[in-house]
Structure 1
């Protein structure tokens, strides 16, 4: 299985914020945005492995700016690292006010997906090649984020998270 570049998994999904998507403040509801983000992230993961995928975790969603009724939502998603059977997908979300010609960052998040074989069992995914400085930084951070997810999920002991520990403990 040949390794793939981040650009090969890139997805840009665009949605229009309609009245049914908003809360009482005429802002896009967080749950609706997370639904769209899950779809975009799944598409990026599937492009990377060319197999069905399931969401394994969602973490570090940061809400920076609300997206208003009538604005456009652009969701950029691409794989940031591949592990044995899982892939981390990094998402950036932009709002755009077409009338004012303003585009602004709204959100950022990390989703993890697991590839499934024909028996719905986890299966190996292609490796990953980071090319740009930004992709390399996301790639390096992905291992620490994975270790944190595994610790919080009770699947890894904190003492085994060497890369994560290195951030806090200097030898």
Structure 2
């Protein structure tokens, strides 16, 4: 599977998860303690707009942490996802990409997007009781990229990622990926 197909598949499945959120699920907790379902959905869309703008060589105006989805969150997600995929197709990977106020190497930003939408897609599926739609091949490829993209200094209390959760070496790739991000693959969100 090539890079663009990998990203497009993950974004498509995450978009389906966003669409599958029912109004009565918005206040449910997620495996990310800082987010309930509605906040996680806003985060997914807000940051996708940041990635899409940077990949398209445009500045992002605003703060993605303040993004609030309108009446069609899945439509917002899919529009930004299509723009992000088109940006990588049209502009390639061998360049610096703006992410908020800084620039990072294109391959690093690409890997960050893969990690973000596979990881938070899993979070959203678990929180809302939807089947986790990602394939073992997708998870294996993103895990390989995550291992070279996510340095130890971003892990620990008060940081973006938890410590790696131990799992069996022969565990499914998605479980190993989720554990690498610092989540227990068998965990359910804390009760509200």
Q: Normalising to structure 1: TM-score of the pair? A: 0.30
* Structure that is richer in strand per residue: 1
Which structure has the larger Rg over C-alpha atoms?
1
* Structure that is richer in helix per residue: 2
